[in-house]
């Protein structure tokens, strides 16, 4: 009886609640990236133009994106912050159009003022690489119905890759994320509105990233859904020898499958169609293995 009750209290949510959306977590969800920036590490400048960003968002939805993630500020290693006004003028005109696409729209920002504005304009999720550490950010989420992704980062983008150091990366990242999630729970935000993300490449060596991927199931602690963002990242390029980010599709797909194997519920990806196909094939393969087992027992 107790163990049943314990399970009910600590079980990971089977649905991600964000704004007016309830997304079942019975299969991995694809979050398609729309970078409205001149300097993103893999597609900077491709979608800075509002019309091109909207067209790209439409294409990602037609390819199977379950969520769109709009970003107006690059967080690549060495990048500098942009002003609130600049970020606002990049994101808002695109948001206005893509909220009509019938998938939840996430905005990748760390600025509480912009968080409030995008939620008022129809965004359903705030994706914050600083895990709501800016003053007032937790309140913005608590006062809205938005879902949120809390990401771990050691340092800031300008300096984060200089000399990342941990005694035990999995324990430290997990503890940080749980503490940040605790602030939200204490403010009345339910666990089903929260995604946790270890922040691959954000103040981590390649070894740290691999350890986190390996132990991804520990990040959510059986209580929160986990988002993984490995798509096109430089770590993949160092393993495969692919310097150009757009040539990292194969390794991005392999990383996505590894993340799903380790319990990721949401994958943040640039290449939606290809990742979707890989996931469908993987799922069919898994199901056939289960059928084989059922027949032979």
Would you please indicate which residues are annotated as catalytic (active-site) residues? 233, 268
Q: Which pair of tokens denotes residue 291? A: 């059928």
State yes or no: residue 71 binds ligand HH2 (CB under 6 A): yes
Residues paired with 197 in a beta bridge: 151
Contacts of residues 45-52 at CB distance under 8 Å and 24 or more positions apart, as own/partner, are 48/90, 50/93, 50/94
Binding track over 36-55 against ligand HH2, x by CB under 6 A:
-x--xxx-------------
Q: In this complex, which beta carbon is closest to ligand HH2, that of residue 61 or of residue 107?
A: 107
The residue from 66, 87, 197, 271 that contacts ligand HH2 (CB under 6 A) is: 197
* Residue closest to ligand HH2, measured at CB: 229
Q: Cβ 199 to ligand HH2, closest distance in Å?
A: 6
Q: Cβ 100 to ligand HH2, closest distance in Å?
A: 23
State yes or no: residue 229 binds ligand HH2 (CB under 6 A): yes
Q: Cβ 231 to ligand HH2, closest distance in Å?
A: 7
Measured distance CA(220)–CA(297) in Å, rounded: 33
Measured distance CA(22)–CA(18) in Å, rounded: 6
Which residues inside 98-127 make contact with ligand HH2, applying CB under 6 A? Answer: 108, 127
Strands 21-24, 15-18: pairing kind: antiparallel
Residue 221: closest CA among 196, 201, 204: 196
The angle that helices 206-214 and 249-261 make with each other, rounded to 10 degrees, is 40
Binding region for ligand HH2 (CB under 6 A): 33, 35, 37, 40-42, 71, 74-76, 108, 127, 129, 149, 151, 197, 199-200, 227, 229, 268
């Amino acid at each position: 009886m107790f163990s049943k009750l314990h399970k009910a209290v600590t079980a990971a949510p089977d649905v991600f609640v964000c704004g007016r959306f309830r997304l079942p977590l019975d299969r991995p969800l694809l979050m398609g990236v729309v970078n409205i920036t001149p300097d993103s590490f893999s597609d900077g400048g491709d979608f800075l133009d509002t019309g091109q960003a909207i067209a790209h968002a439409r294409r990602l939805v037609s390819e199977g994106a379950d969520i769109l993630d709009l970003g107006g500020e690059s967080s690549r290693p060495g990048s500098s912050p942009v002003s609130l006004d600049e970020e606002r003028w990049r994101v808002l005109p695109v948001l206005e159009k893509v909220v009509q696409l019938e998938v939840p729209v996430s905005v990748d920002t760390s600025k509480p003022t912009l968080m409030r504005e995008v939620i008022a304009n129809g965004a359903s999720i705030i994706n914050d690489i600083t895990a709501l550490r800016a003053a007032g950010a937790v309140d913005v989420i608590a006062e809205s119905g938005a879902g949120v992704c809390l990401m771990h980062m050691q340092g800031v983008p300008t300096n984060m890759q200089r000399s990342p150091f941990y005694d035990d990366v999995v324990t430290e990242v997990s503890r940080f994320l749980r503490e940040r999630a605790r602030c939200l729970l204490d403010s009345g935000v339910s666990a089903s509105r929260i995604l946790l993300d270890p922040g691959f490449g954000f103040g981590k060596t390649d070894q740290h990233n691999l350890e986190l991927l390996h132990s991804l199931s520990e990040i959510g602690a059986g209580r929160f859904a986990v988002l993984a963002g490995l798509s096109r990242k430089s770590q993949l390029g160092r393993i495969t020898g692919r310097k150009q980010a757009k040539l990292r599709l194969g390794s991005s797909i392999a990383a996505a499958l590894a993340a799903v194997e380790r319990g990721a519920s949401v994958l943040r990806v640039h290449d939606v169609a290809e990742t979707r196909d890989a996931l469908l094939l993987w799922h069919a393969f898994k199901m056939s293995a289960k059928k084989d087992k059922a027949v032979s027992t």
